[in-house]
A and B are shown apart, each in its own frame.
Chain A
């Protein structure tokens, strides 16, 4: 049975949550990354948002939101115990200064070398970069969460990015609804297949060349 768009996003977000270690400082991007918070105990990790807050919590659905308390996606959030507010420059000092442990980002394309493109589409009127380049230049670990293919079925994990890259810094993990990829000595490796996914399907829908990780897990 085919999964809905929502189910696919939740599946990817849930898997990304497994990558987050207790006590770490995590910045979540817009889209699928935002959903990751649902699957993490917010008392064990600290979420950072670049518009100026550490200690972002999920807003209980029955609680009235505060229009001046939002995340980078401009969605209402809540304070957790020990939360703090700061200016944009302090926030980016945290990001660029190497004080944020993990960024979970969406992508237009990721290539087999680990370069990510997620800010510009040539010929389109979208003019926004936000904090993407800062996060890539500064955080310790970059996890990409993305649909495996575009809406029209084109591979998003490619041989070489055709869109402008976001940074010369490479990503560490790629999580899609089909598989988890990591890098070993700069080589893209398939680390894990998602439930009910075959290696053939991943090969068919991936443009990039990849090797199988020696300790690849076959989830069932």
Chain B
């Protein structure tokens, strides 16, 4: 029988990350981002990280904290506009940054997880982002070569996991998470709820458990009022019941 995935604490598994590692981090802005794991990473003594994530948080928030801490060597993403400190750090030579079209970024991660070394795409042909890249004419149209992306560790977010590590997502919080789950040596999923194996319908499982190495329960949750701790959320609910 397959061993149950250990439901563990963030600080026990974040130690899988070593100085110099390549880390994929899910999310489109804060939506679908593993907020608890990111928070834990900011407390952990590690540096020279390459972060592959659509954004690098906001100034002093999320992955933006890691940037301020000087733990990031290189950022790979499609939209750093949400954190102007990325541009500043890049111009000052503090970090290396690789800007990718969002579709190329997601496809390169998908390729990395599927054992594909790279692929040709029409996106970015003839633009500044294609400078120095191999091109090829296919059926009369120009394509640019894009290598696959892989990582040492992926930090992802899902709505639910079962005890085997099968994952189900919620609305637009899915985004990059399913691909990142396939493209790293060690995959840590942060989820809002863990259920018994068998409780998730096979039809609703988007990421099968073979991709997932460890599961933690989220302590930081995105709400209408912003990011708050589960503890504060429970207290607020209790006080509502008491009213």
Interface, chain A (partner B; CB < 8 A): 49-53, 64-72, 74, 85-89, 91-93, 95-96, 120, 124-134, 137-138, 164-169
Contacts and interface: CB of A to CB of B under 8 A. Distances in A.
A87 B103 contact: no
Nearest to B125: A168
Interface string B213-227: 000000000111000
9 contacts: A51-B172, A66-B171, A74-B29, A85-B169, A85-B174, A88-B28, A96-B121, A127-B81, A167-B126
The 3 closest A-B pairs by CB, nearest first: A125-B87, A92-B103, A128-B81
Interface string B76-112: 0011111010111011000001011111101101100
Interface in B167-226: 169-179, 206, 222-224
Interface of B: 28-29, 31-32, 54, 78-82, 84, 86-88, 90-91, 97, 99-104, 106-107, 109-110, 121-129, 142, 169-179, 206, 222-224
B106 A74 contact: no
A10 to B, nearest CB: 25
A49 B172 contact: yes
A137 B122 contact: yes
A127 B31 contact: no
Contact of A70 (B80, B102, B172): B172
A89 B109 contact: yes
A138 B128 CA distance: 18
Contacts of A127: 80-81, 86-87, 90, 97, 99
A30 B125 CA distance: 23
